[in-house]
Amino acid sequence: MSIEVRDLSHIYGQGTPDEQAALQDISFVLHGGEMVALIGHTGSGKSTLVQHLNGLLKPNSGEIIVDGTDIARPGVSMLDIRRHVGLVFQYPEYQLFEETVAKDVAFGPKNLGLDAEEVDHRVREALTLVGLDYEAVKDRSPFDLSGGQKRKAAIAGVVAMRPDILILDEPTAGLDPGSHREIMEMVKRIHDSTRNITIFVTHDMNDVAALADKVLVMSRGRLLTVGSPTEVFSHRTQLSAVGLDVPPLMDLLGDLKEGGLPVRTEIFDLDEAADEICGALKKQKEK
């Protein structure tokens, strides 16, 4: 399983006064099992990019190759693409519409043409996987759930389609810290249970450091860098030039290093960082 994007460009509103190049010459490759973070300033084109990956938007030029098929070409079955690539939009809870949570989650699997038994099975599985109690929520109205629960139910609606590639656009936007943590733990749990490609858009650099295998950095419609979190975060000044931060911990270590304390800066773990700083301070004292 893989996704390859080649020279992808997209222009919104071509031929109108507000014509805008939202994506320019984007190219990257993702492989099976990778957990990918997509970061970038608001308006940098992240949402536009992910909508191309399941065929909701068509590129003005370029190719999007999912498992060997170019999905940008006309004549590809959209339902087939959506079976392979699941996209959870930003604020997905605004798309809930059914009377009960179970029915809402069943919407996607039903559209795939599965039989009733399989649909039920998938609904149960998906709700459990996102961390909701199936028996407790299945007959409740999705509009009665709490904010975090609504979000989980909406995500379950896509997870139930069992996509090979799961994309989440800012899954934690507007949530309290508790729900934020639960959602990110859920994303990790889903990724670990499927070992497929998971892409998440985020502004939280701690999540990037903790979860991602690969980071895509967008700026003004272009792909700035691709690399492991360690590689990407080692360019602190370059990131801040495009309005992005490194995780607070790395920021601290970077400041210490600039201030003259010889520490390694590529550390994402709090305890490890503490040890590193203590070690460096001790060494300095001995001298």
Ligand X SMILES: Nc1ncnc2c1ncn2[C@@H]1O[C@H](COP(=O)(O)OP(=O)(O)O)[C@@H](O)[C@H]1O
Residue 230 amino acid letter? T
Minimum distance from residue 16 beta carbon to another protein (Å): 6
* DSSP for 81-142, written as a single string: HHHHEEEEPSSGGGG--SSSHHHHHHHHHHHTT--HHHHHHHHHHHHHHTT--HHHHTTS-G
Residues numbered 263 to 282 that lie near Mg ion (CB under 5 A) are none
Of 254, 252, 255, 248, nearest to 206 by C-alpha is 248
Q: In the set 30, 161, 212, 246, which binds another protein (CB under 8 A)? A: 161
Secondary element (H or E) of residue 79: helix 78-84
Residue 70-109 contact track with another protein, rule CB under 8 A, x = bound = --------xx--xx--xxxx--x-xxxx---------xx-
Query: Backbone phi, then psi, for 227, in 5-degree steps?
Result: 175, 180
Q: Of 33-52, which residues contact Mg ion (CB under 5 A)?
A: 47
Q: Cα–Cα distance between 64 and 261 in angstroms, integer? A: 46
Nearer to ligand X (CB atom), residue 160 or residue 239: 239
User: What does the alpha-carbon distance between residue 165 and residue 170 come to, in Å, rounded to a whole number?
Assistant: 16
**Binding at 22: pick from ligand X, another protein, Mg ion, none (beta carbon under 5-8 Å per type):** ligand X
Using the rule CB under 6 A, give the single segment among 40-48, 143-151, 190-198, 248-256 that binds ligand X. 40-48
Asked if 199 contacts 20 with a C-beta cutoff of 8 angstroms, the reply is: no
Q: Whole-number minimum distance, CB 220 to ligand X, in Å?
A: 9
Q: According to the binding rule CB under 8 A, does residue 158 interact with another protein?
A: yes
Say whether residue 22 binds ligand X (CB under 6 A): yes
Spatial contact of 169 and 46, defined as CB atoms under 8 Å apart: yes
- Identify what 86 binds: another protein, ligand X, Mg ion, none; CB under 5 to 8 Å per kind: another protein
Positions that interact with another protein (CB under 8 A) = 13, 15-17, 51, 54, 56, 78-79, 82-83, 86-89, 92, 94-97, 107-108, 111-112, 143, 157-158, 161
